[in-house]
Amino acid sequence: MCIICFINCSIYIISQFLYLITFSKKNTEQIIKPIYMSKKSFLLLITAVSALGGLLFGYDTGVINGAQFYLSKYFLLTDGMKGWVVSSALIGCLFGAIAAGPLSIKLGRKHSLIISAILFSISAFGSGLPELFPQTVSTLVFFRILGGLGIGIASMNAPMYIAEIAPSDIRGKMVTYYQLAIVIGFFIVFLATYFIGNNLSEADNIQFGWRRMFWSELIPSALFLILLFFVPKSPRWLILKGKEKEALEVLSKIHEESQASKELQEIKSSLSKDNTEVKTNYLSKAIIGIIAIGTALSVLQQFTGINAVLYYGADIFEKALGFGKEDILVQQILLAFVNLIFTFVAMFTVDKFGRKPLLYIGSVGMIIGFLLLGISLQQQSVGIISLLGVLIFIGSFALSMGPVVWVLLSEMFPNKIRSVAMSVVVAAQWAANALVSQSFPVVMGSDLNNASPWNGSLPYFIFIAFILIIVYVTYKYIPETKGKSLEEIEDFWKKS
């Protein structure tokens, strides 16, 4: 299956390249679908390409997990400085997400993703500068922030692009490809860092192994950049720009002709209503309410503690769970594997069971996982139960808050405000991510956390409190969007 997909992608890319160099500049804006490729295969292809932005998001998150363990020793970082190095990329993500809204409106989803791919590549090269260059904490932070800008732009545009191009009956599944790509990125980078780190001595890893870990990101970032030139523009963005003919061409490559025309009319009708009723007044009570709900959901995804576990997995396994250095990278691969498997479960159930049931089930699982970890730490009996708690938490998050939040955020906002609203809620998510990442090592190293009765468990009980809030917010404010078109979801907000 993978070989067939690879051959299809290769033929498609070659055909696009020949088309681009054969026809006039005017026609190069029209991305054709090869006659041998079905509409479903074409949709899957462009979804997979745009989801590579998620793979780089996951890869970048994972690479700092493996690299920080060694670069912290190289630069002799304190807990506070370690938090700054790790969370510095998240500052870039915050500003990248803020910039993503205007970029998406002005340049479109596709060209915004191209910009993010360029930033990814520069960051990967600069973060792993060879010893011939004067690498300092400041230069490392600079390139990490640059990569964060790319992640911030991609994290808003990639799921939104997929949601805008996918049919409503499989939109949830299509958007979860973005989350799947994130966890595949985690898994691949843990394998890469394990391969790099396991073949070097600890001294070599401290000296230059972490640089190679950063450089390994150049491969997926270059692939992402190249493939983006061969996907169409978002039909909803094209209609916003008055390019209805081009939008219909894109829709016709995904839907049957009658369905494509119907979809076009629904989008035009939605935008027409927006122009007469909402008039893009972002300070109106209705729009602020929708954005506030999206922001709360987005922020709470980070307050589950997921990235504390992912960014500082090496520290947790070594210090909290008592594993030896030789076992750390192996444990991270196990963590990434569980993350991957349960993301597949979410992918095949999100359009069947719905968004809200998965959030409820996942929340219960996350609470159970952190209770097992927290209580075992309190009782100072770390071991297999502690590891099981971490894995249950990861699996439950991958089943629920990981993919479902991206699905909901990509589909819940009206067409006219989607770019700006997504920019706001994704920026808020990165701000929350930075807060958790910066504070987690400080709380972990605090006297309060390490004294009785907490014994290192305090952060996990704080995360449990936020997961309980997720259950309430989901019940009270989150609509079920399964099977609804983006325009039907928009009508729901206007009626509520």
Quick one: pLDDT at residue 7?
40
Q: Can you read off the two tokens belonging to residue 241? A: 């720009």
As a 3-state breakdown, the chain gives helix, strand, coil percent values, each rounded to 5, of 80, 0, 20
Sequence-distant (6+) residues with CB within 8 A of 474 are 356, 359, 360, 363
Q: Where are the beta strands (DSSP E) in 304-374?
A: none
pLDDT per residue of the chain (496 residues) written in tens, 0 to 9:
443 444 444 444 444 443 443 333 444 344 445 545 678 888 888 888 888 888 988 888 778 877 887 888 888 888 778 778 877 888 888 899 899 988 988 999 999 999 999 999 999 988 888 766 777 888 999 999 999 999 889 988 998 898 888 887 788 888 888 888 888 888 888 788 888 888 888 888 888 888 889 999 999 999 999 999 888 988 888 988 888 889 888 888 887 777 888 888 887 876 665 554 445 566 777 788 899 999 999 999 999 999 888 766 666 666 556 655 556 667 777 888 898 899 999 988 998 899 999 999 999 999 999 999 999 889 888 778 888 899 999 999 999 999 999 899 988 888 778 888 888 998 999 889 888 877 888 898 899 998 989 988 999 999 999 999 999 999 999 988 888 877 777 777 766 6
Q: Which residues contact 77 (CB under 8 A, 6 or more apart)?
A: 71, 85, 137
Mean pLDDT of the chain: 82
Please give the pLDDT value at position 276: 46
Omega prior to 453 cis, within 30 of 0:
yes
The confidence score (pLDDT) of residue 448 equals 93
| Size of the chain in residues | 496
Give the H or E element holding residue 109: helix 109-127
- Per DSSP, the three-state class of 37 is coil
Domain boundaries, the chain: 39-495
Q: Which of 226, 246, 227, 228 is nearest to 236 (CA)?
A: 246
CA 197 distance to own-chain centroid? 26
DSSP 207: I
Left (φ > 0), alpha (ψ -120 to 50) or beta: where does 383 sit?
A: left
Cα-to-chain-centroid distance, residue 337: 17
Q: What is the pLDDT of residues 60-91, one digit of tens each?
A: 877 887 788 788 888 888 877 877 887 788 88
pLDDT tens profile 362-375: 999 999 999 999 99
Radius of gyration of the chain (CA): 22
pLDDT given for residue 111 in this prediction: 92
pTM for this prediction:
0.74
CATH architecture group of domain 39-495: Up-down Bundle (1.20)
